[in-house]
Copies of this chain bind each other. A is one copy, B any other.
Amino acid sequence: MNKPIGIFDSGVGGLTVAKAIRDVLPNEDVIYFGDTAHLPYGEKSPEAIRNYSMGIADFLVKSGAKAIVIACNSASSVATELLRENFEPQVPVINVIDPVIRAINPSIHDIGIIGTRATIGSGVYQDKIASIHPNVAIHALATPLLVPVIEEGLEKSEIATKTAEHYLGLPEMQKIDALIPGCTHYPLLTDLFNQILGEETVLMDTPNIVAQHVKEVLTSSNMLNGGVQEGSASFFVSDFTPTFERIARHFFRKEIQLSELDIWK
């Protein structure tokens, strides 16, 4: 089906998911909406997040999206059901939490989960892991410095190294044999995390897990793009930010189309 995959987040984080989808499904078109005017979602009420998410999903579907990927932990946590009620089965809705929880290897004993204060405080990962993998011990840690480090463009700096070493060196992280980077920004620190965790601890590749799930859903719904040429990517933000442009350019290499658009006007 020659229609784009719609992806949204409150900002740049979802670009890691968009990039993974592009890697797994290179000839799909993607249309991305970053709600930079309202970020961070983590500090908004569930009602506000649902309201923003519905507005964006509506925009994506009206723009032709055949599927919606909620590439934001806060919106995944509170808006998935609402979007499913409104858009499925015509337009499948995929979030960034459930496929990752399902992908936890049954051999794991102690799983670490890191995320923003809002995500860890909400307990969404902890609750979902406990209900599907009741024998896994969960070690959750809020790591609020990581997002601002990435948004400052410092992910390759010594500041990033010291910060990641600090968090992963805390007692609660010492027993884990797998780590979920529970924030869509964190894949920008994958190399650093792997270096600190060493070979004994599995770093879950969350964007790839989500992208593989998108592929499965499109395949089973007969919605894959049958074309062979490279898909297009367009990016919309509700408020232009240099960080968004920098990371989108970094991930998608060539010139990207970035448009500011107030869908609430």
Contacts and interface: CB of A to CB of B under 8 A. Distances in A.
Nearest to A163: B159
A240 to B, nearest CB: 14
A183 to B, nearest CB: 14
A145 interface: yes
Contact of A154 (B149, B157, B158, B166): B166
B162 A158 contact: yes
Contacts of A145: 145, 148-149, 152, 154, 159
Nearest to A162: B159
Contacts of A144: 148, 151-152
Interface in A129-188: 144-145, 148-149, 151-152, 154, 157-159, 162-163, 166
A134 B159 CA distance: 37
A120 to B, nearest CB: 14
A166 B162 contact: no
What are the 9 A-B residue pairs with the smallest beta carbon separation, nearest first?
A: A159-B162, A158-B162, A145-B148, A159-B163, A148-B148, A144-B148, A145-B152, A162-B162, A159-B166
Given A145-B159, A148-B148, A159-B159, 6 more contacts: A144-B151, A145-B149, A158-B162, A159-B162, A159-B163, A159-B166
